Structure 1
Amino acid sequence: MEAAEVKDLIDEAHEREQAQRRSAGRHHSEDGEEGGHGVKTSTAIYISVLAAVLAIVSVAGSNAGKELMASAIEASDSFAYYQAKTQRQISLRLAADEIELLSAGMPADAQAKALQRSAEYRQSAERMEADEGKNSRKDLLGKAKAAEFRRDHAAAQDPYFDFAEGMLQLAIVLASVFAITNKGFILWTSRALAVTGVLMAADGFTLILPLPFL
């Protein structure tokens, strides 16, 4: 979308320039016209490339934000379920201890039933710890830690993509200004911002070089 808008801006600027030249009665040689057309074409290609890179960075930043939110929710839910399982496990073990203490003064038959119930509670508590199913404490803790890792990774990536997107947008704006003014320093500033944006985007994907201010 940015490329299309800038292309329209370039076309309008050149149309105005040509109209002013016609009204003032100035004429250009064929070489001059070809040179102007070449600058216009190269600038449009440059802006289109920047817009394509910007689109990729925008998608990556959006995905990082979505992953951050989804992983944070998953980590919170998994830890909450893990804590609930832990509380249930503690409650079962406390109940088993209490039954064993109370069974000491019971008749033999009642004591046997009480001890059997106590053993069932302890087995249930141990099953919560040892089961390899998706609802075991071990599995829930692993899920929570994995979600935390993804959350932290996405949180580290997100600011790089934000800054890269801003740099590329500025580069596109300056490139469109260059197309109108034909000032060389504006084009070089645009290129410097574009290179910085691309490098920050690459660092966002890889996180090879952590920046202290992000």
Structure 2
Amino acid sequence: KKAAALKRKLKSVNAAGRRYEKERAAFREFSDSEQAILTAFDPAIGLPAGKTVLAWEGSLTAGGQLLCPDLSLSVKGPGILGLTGRNGAGKSTLLKQLHSVLQNRTDLRVGYMPQDYREVLNPDISPSQWLQHWPEARTRLGSMRFTIREMESPMGELSGGQQAKILFLAMVLAQCDVLLLDEPTRNFSPLSAPVIRQALQNFGGRIILVSHDRKLLQICDEVLELTSQGLIPWTSETS
């Protein structure tokens, strides 16, 4: 009886082990598949360390309300600058203002990802139409797991995560060397967020991003908090 019971127990343990291995393999396959959510930035992209990307001074106003009377921001060379602050401080407004300053620079290729994607994307046309200037766009969309139907559907019908992918792809195809990103991880899953962070860490140009995501802020070379008195150094310990 003891031998039979031991045999049954061993059989149960072996079955549990096989089930565990299958679950682990499935999880590993799912996690690895997240690598396909983004296409990589060209590793050749870079900026000289001493190049002035931004030297800006001004005030910040939103909806007729003065948020900050005196702001200044100086940025040189490659790296990642994070901007954070309380809700309503004007972070998105500031990033939009910086974009208006930088977008006409002929010596920089500036990519912009606003919080409201409709500022950049046309919701009535398809990803294929919007990216038609780049012949390889459809191939890249396919590698990012877009179906043929999604490539041809109006972008307004796609999810926020899909629209974010399209914005990232446009910045990759345009060979942007400066990225202005407003909450870039907000429409991606927790499994996708590490892929986003790694892609941004590997980027050789300059990034200015707005975020409340602490893990994203940890990859920044410098983080500034927007207050009514201006931009001040931010640390996670004092927030």
TM interval, shorter chain, is under 0.3
Q: Which has the larger radius of gyration?
A: 1
TM-score, with length taken from structure 2: 0.23
TM-score normalised to structure 1 length: 0.25
